[in-house]
């Protein structure tokens, strides 16, 4: 199976920290998804959930990940990172493949 997303080492560490310290049940997985709507288009979502019908399940560096099949086309190639700075902290989503596509279209 092709792993559709990449989770950076800082993000992996934060996900493991959350799983260990926030009483996430062992049968739960990291759910990665998209939410549509609004002026800004798509928003990305992370959370912990049980597997449901219509989910794809895979592992990224030992982290069990769930994704709705219908979200795959929006998330393919996505990199999830974690930023912990003086002014802000949180997960970030970038898609290098999409940037390459946009650069080619702009030429």
pLDDT, position 6: 96
Would you identify the CATH topology of the domain 5-106? Answer: Hypothetical Protein Aq_1857; Chain: A; (2.60.300)
> Each residue's pLDDT tens digit in the chain (107 positions)?
678 999 999 999 999 999 999 999 999 999 999 987 656 667 899 999 999 998 999 999 999 999 999 999 889 999 999 999 888 899 999 988 765 444 433 44
- Residue 35 CA to residue 25 CA, distance in Å, equals 24
pLDDT tens sequence across 8-37: 999 999 999 999 999 999 999 999 999 876
pLDDT, position 99: 54
CA angle in degrees (0–180, nearest 5) for 95-45-49 = 125
């Amino acid at each position: 199976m092709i792993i559709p997303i990449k989770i950076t080492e800082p993000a992996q560490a934060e996900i493991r920290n959350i799983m260990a310290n926030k009483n996430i049940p062992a049968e739960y997985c990291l759910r990665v998804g998209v939410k549509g709507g609004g002026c800004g288009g798509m928003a990305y979502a992370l959370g912990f959930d049980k597997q449901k019908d219509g989910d794809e399940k895979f592992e990224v560096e030992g982290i069990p990940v769930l994704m709705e099949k219908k979200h795959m086309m929006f998330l393919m190639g996505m990199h999830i990172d974690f930023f912990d700075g003086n002014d802000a902290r949180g997960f970030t989503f970038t898609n290098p493949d999409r940037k390459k596509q946009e650069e080619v279209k702009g030429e």
